[in-house]
Amino acid sequence: MAGILYLCATPIGNLEDMTYRAARILQEADLIAAEDTRNSAKLLQAFDIHTPMTSYHHYNRYDKIPYLLRLLQEGKNIALITDAGMPGISDPGEELVKACIEAGVRVTPVPGASAGLSALVCSGLPTGEFCFEGFLPTEKKEQQQRLERLAEEDRTMIFYEAPHRLAKTLELLYAAFGDRKIAVCRELTKKHEEFTYTGLKEALILYQQQEPKGEFVLIVQGRDRKQMDAQEQAAFLALPLEAHMKFYTDQGIDRKEAMKLVAKDRGISRRDVYAALIHE
């Protein structure tokens, strides 16, 4: 029988956040695949775990996936860990998971600490709907495309950022979104943990004036839905009625259904739409 790939969450700062199950799985696995073996060696030492390790990271993933997959198919159990938190989130773990699923190898989570969710629940911003965006692209064109799309996003957004890029990222977010609410979460669960609840403009000014230190999670307010609806209605009201109808019929919607949608957009009855179209 094939082995199992365990996705083991590790502490994001405070070692006491290690779960009993994660420690046991790491102890019992045949091999641990770690993003940074030097960093992970400290974690294993703290919990007296002596399982062999191999590196698996962004730069060697294409060479290591066939090797790890072969071991799994031979019946070995492998625990995948990242530097901190849940593997597969903004790291190459997702590609190993995909390869395992395609090969029919079982993948199972060993849940635990997560920087994104930890920051979200402490942000004071809506948690019912949210989207995880991780790190913004570094390539300028991709960056611009992502931000243009996110400018219309009404869910709370989660971003990760390194200290040397923080001020630039805040500048980009402010330019794209305007002055939204933001929770700047620094060094989560560590000695110097800090939450700054402010607006994007104030956060930008703050980190232009002082050097950011530590790892950051940014929780940004989504676009206000009422404001979006008001702007959308204003845009439709500015259109001639026939042009408004054409907006929908060009999408393959029949005129009867289009009249319903136009009436809803403009806050009038379908009968009013019909009467107005006859007199145009």
Residues 51-83: tens digit of each pLDDT: 999 999 999 999 999 999 999 999 999 999 999
- Position 232 scores a pLDDT of 66
Tokens of 196: 């700054």
The answer to whether residue 248 scores a pLDDT higher than 90 is no
Mean pLDDT of 184-207: 96
Strand order in the sheet with 181-186: 130-134, 156-161, 216-220, 181-186, 194-199
pLDDT at 156 over 80: yes
Structure tokens at 22: 């994660």
The mean-pLDDT minimum among 178-192, 204-218, 266-280 falls in: 266-280
Whole-number pLDDT of residue 243 = 81
Which range is least confidently modeled, 17-31, 47-61, 70-84, 221-235?
Answer: 221-235
- Cα(155)–Cα(169) distance, rounded to whole angstroms? 19
Do the beta carbons of residue 96 and residue 61 sit within 8 Å?
A: yes
Extract the tokens encoding 5: 């790939």
Residues 100-105 have a mean pLDDT of 96
* In contact, 91 and 58? CB cutoff 8 Å: yes
Q: Provide the pLDDT for residue 240.
A: 81
What pLDDT sits at residue 176? 94
Share of the chain above pLDDT 70, in %: 96
Averaged pLDDT for residues 99-117: 96
Q: How far is CA 153 from CA 127, 143, 226, 230, in A?
A: 14, 15, 13, 15
Q: What pLDDT, on a 0 to 100 scale, did the predictor assign at position 84?
A: 92
List phi, psi (to 5°) of 112: 180, -140
- Bigger pLDDT: 95 vs 280: 95
> What pLDDT score was predicted for residue 279?
63
Long-range pairs, 127-131, Cβ under 8 A, ≥24:
127/156, 129/154, 129/155, 129/156, 129/222, 130/155, 130/156, 130/157, 130/158, 131/155, 131/156, 131/157, 131/158
Classify strands 216-220 and 181-186 as parallel, antiparallel or unpaired: antiparallel
pLDDT at residue 217 tops 90: yes
Mean of the pLDDT values across residues 34-53?
96
Residue with tokens 């066939």: 66
pTM: predicted TM-score of the whole model, two decimal places: 0.79
**pLDDT value of residue 119:** 97
Mean pLDDT of 199-218: 95
User: Considering the chain, what is the average pLDDT of its residues?
Assistant: 92
User: Residue 280 above 60 pLDDT?
Assistant: no
Is residue 256 over pLDDT 90?
Answer: no
Inter-residue contact 197 to 231 (CB < 8 Å): no
Q: Tell me which of 273 and 31 has the higher pLDDT.
A: 31
pLDDT at site 241: 80
Q: What is the mean pLDDT of residues 165-185?
A: 96
Question: Domains in the chain, please, with CATH?
Answer: 4-113 (3.40.1010.10), 116-223 (3.30.950.10), 226-279 (no CATH)
pLDDT of 195 strictly over 80? yes
Distance CA 251, CA 273 (A): 19
Q: At what angle do helices 225-237 and 255-266 cross, to 10 degrees?
A: 120
Examine the pLDDT at 160 and tell me if it is beyond 60.
Answer: yes
What pLDDT score does 227 carry? Answer: 66
Q: Which of 117, 207, 111 is nearest to 162 (CA)?
A: 207
